[in-house]
Each structure stands twice: as structure tokens, then as C-alpha cells.
């Protein structure tokens, strides 16, 4: 009985993680969008990608790296929405 309860709890915890995308992004500062980003801290990398998204007209803020993806909050029609982008192409990754 305890084993079944533990398995059910673990399955419930794991389910939300399945909704988050995974991106095989650059490791340690590789080639991104055709140029070298060098060695960057996690914060510097997030700022770099936020600038790149803004250059594309995406109103990104509070950007961070999540599962190899770019996670950012975008202002759209006065509302903040969380979005994920591929670090190689800067294409949005749908969560559906």
C-alpha cells in the first residue's frame, strides 16, 4: 500500500515537469545564431538572449535559462505571459 501511495505521489510530482520544454542548447558558450557568445555566466547568457529577442521585436523581460531553453515573460496587450524560445533559432516553443 505504501509503495502504491509513493508511486502515485511521484507520478503527480513528475507530471508538471512534462509540460516544460527541453532544448538541447549551447553548452558552455558555443556558436549561437552564427556567432560565438564565448564563456558567459547564466545571468549574462539570459541578458544576451533577452537583447536578441528584443532586437526581433519581442518585448521580453525577466529572462532566464530553463531546461536549455530561453524562458522569458512577454508583455502582450498589457498582460505578461511566460514563453519559451529555442536558443539556436530564437523561435517560440509552444507548450501545447
Q: What is the pLDDT of residue 22?
A: 65
Q: Is the dihedral of CA 56, 59, 63, 69 positive or negative?
A: negative
Where do the H-state alpha helices sit in the chain? 2-18, 42-55
Residue 4 lies in a domain: no
Number of compact structural domains in the chain: 1
CA distances to 7, 17, 89 from 53, in Å = 41, 25, 10
**CA angle, 33 as apex, 29 and 34 as ends, to 5°?**
90
* Parent domain of 46: 22-96
Q: What is the pLDDT of residue 42?
A: 86
C-alpha 36, offset from chain centre: 20
Per-run averaged pLDDT (10 residues), the chain, 96 residues = 45 48 54 55 91 95 90 90 91 84
The residues, any chain, with a CB within 8 Å of residue 22's CB and separated by 6 or more, are: 67, 68, 69
Amino acid at each position: 500500500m505504501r509503495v502504491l501511495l509513493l508511486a502515485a505521489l511521484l507520478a503527480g510530482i513528475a507530471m508538471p515537469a512534462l509540460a516544460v520544454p527541453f532544448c538541447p542548447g549551447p553548452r558552455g558558450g558555443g556558436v549561437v545564431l552564427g556567432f560565438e557568445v564565448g564563456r558567459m555566466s547564466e545571468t549574462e547568457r539570459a541578458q544576451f538572449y533577452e537583447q536578441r529577442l528584443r532586437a526581433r521585436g519581442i518585448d521580453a523581460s525577466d529572462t532566464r535559462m530553463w531546461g536549455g531553453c530561453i524562458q522569458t515573460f512577454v508583455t502582450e496587450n498589457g498582460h505578461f505571459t511566460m514563453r519559451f524560445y529555442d536558443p539556436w533559432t530564437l523561435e517560440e516553443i509552444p507548450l501545447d
